[in-house]
Structure 1
Amino acid sequence: MSTEIRVPTLGESVTEATIGRWFKKPGDAVKADEPLLELETDKVTLEVNAPAAGSLAEIVAKDGETVAPGALLGHIAEGAVTAIAVPASTPAETAAKTPAPAAPPPSPAAAKNAADLGVNVH
């Protein structure tokens, strides 16, 4: 199944836009709402976000082309991205593998205050 990528509504008086550049190329993995391309109008530059997750299957409108609101820009193939399996670890395993950071030495003022109060800061 594929999802169409279309030019969004550009504003009341804006009738066309130019494709500035695509951030992705065909075959690249995309996440839902991830910026895919940049559109430039006479008033504003805006990003078009992915309407779904998957992979960029096709670019219909190339960099530099002029497009109207609603025009087809490309397609996203849903579910075509293969995920890399990463073994899950529990928070306890992660904590056991991660050494605790060394405590910074106390400032001279903090060391004096601790000494005055009889607290060992080491």
Structure 2
Amino acid sequence: MTTEVRVPTLGESVTEATVATWFKQPGEAVAVDEMLCELETDKVTVEVPSPVAGKLVEHVAATGETVGPNALLATIEEGAGASAAPKAAAPVEAAP
């Protein structure tokens, strides 16, 4: 099943945002709540998490593109090569 990733509610007076950065690329596996992209407005920067685990199919909105409220950002194919949660970074041991 394909899930749409849309611009979240940004605030009452915010009417548009710019896609600043994509953290995941099409074809990559994503976990639930893993950050997909970052949106910038004149007031706030918002990270957009994945609503489902699966494979990122496409970026509908490109980096630098201006998007409105509830605009389509990306699509995810649920369950395709997904993990249940983001992988934690390996612990780093301090040098003696």
Please report the TM-score for the alignment, with normalisation by the length of structure 2: 0.83
| Structure 1 residues 49-70: Cα deviation after superposition (integer angstroms, max 9, x where no partner) | 0010001011100000000010
Q: Distance between the aligned counterparts of 1:19 and 1:9, measured in 2?
A: 14
Deviation, 1:82, is 6.4
**2:73 corresponds to 1:56:** no
C-alpha RMSD over aligned residues: 1.1
Give identity over the alignment, percent. Answer: 66
Is 1:67 aligned to 2:61, yes or no? no
Higher relative contact order (CA 8 A, sep 6+): 2
Q: Distance in 2 between matches of 1:40 and 1:79?
A: 29
Greater strand content:
2
Number of residue pairs the alignment of both structures matches = 83
TM-score (norm 1): 0.66
Could you say which structure has the larger radius of gyration?
1
Divergent runs of 4+, >4 A: none
Which is helix-richer, 1 or 2? 1
Structure 2, unaligned runs of 5 or more: 84-96
